[in-house]
């Protein structure tokens, strides 16, 4: 079945620097890749997503890139701010089956002042 590996598990960056989180998926049929941000004690919130027919998508300070050949996708956060501190999850979905959304194990991002 599908497997999603996410790295690193923890990441600490200086405020204002960039942060990059990487995920690799195993099922080449996966065609949709959302990213979620989970703040302490809360449910995950969708922050950005990308479909398999797109290589890159940007939304203000957040961008996601997808390399279908290598089966990996990455989240890039620029000009990091204290409120970016959270756990980030990537996911891979085969957009036709409810059972096929697979989450990565999460990255705890800490922004140092």
Partner 1 sequence: DGGITQSPKYLFRKEGQNVTLSCEQNLNHDAMYWYRQDPGQGLRLIYYSQIVNDFQKGDIAEGYSVSREKKESFPLTVTSAQKNPTAFYLCASSPDTGGIQYFGAGTRLSVL
Report the interface residues with partner 1, using CB under 8 A: 6, 32, 34, 36, 41-46, 49, 89, 93-101, 103-106, 108
Q: Are 91 and 75 in contact (CB under 8 A)?
A: no
List the one residue out of 96, 61, 95, 97 whose CA is nearest residue 76. Answer: 61
Shortest distance, CB of residue 73 to partner 1, whole angstroms? 15
Closest to partner 1 by CB, 24 vs 34, is: 34
Closest to partner 1 by CB, 69 vs 99, is: 99
Closest to partner 1 by CB, 78 vs 100, is: 100
Shortest distance, CB of residue 45 to partner 1, whole angstroms? 7
Q: Are 25 and 92 in contact (CB under 8 A)?
A: yes
Count other Cβ atoms within 10 Å, centred on residue 98. 7
């Amino acid at each position: 079945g599908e497997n999603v590996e996410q790295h690193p598990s923890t990441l600490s960056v200086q405020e204002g620097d960039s942060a990059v989180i990487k995920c690799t998926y195993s099922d080449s049929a996966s065609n949709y890749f959302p990213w979620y941000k989970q703040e302490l004690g809360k449910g995950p919130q969708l922050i950005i997503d990308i479909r398999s027919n797109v290589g890159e998508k940007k939304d203000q300070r957040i961008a996601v890139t997808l390399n279908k050949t290598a089966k990996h996708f990455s989240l890039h956060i620029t000009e990091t701010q204290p409120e970016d501190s959270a756990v980030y999850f990537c996911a891979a979905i085969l957009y036709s089956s409810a059972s096929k959304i697979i989450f990565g194990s999460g990255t705890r991002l800490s922004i140092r002042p």
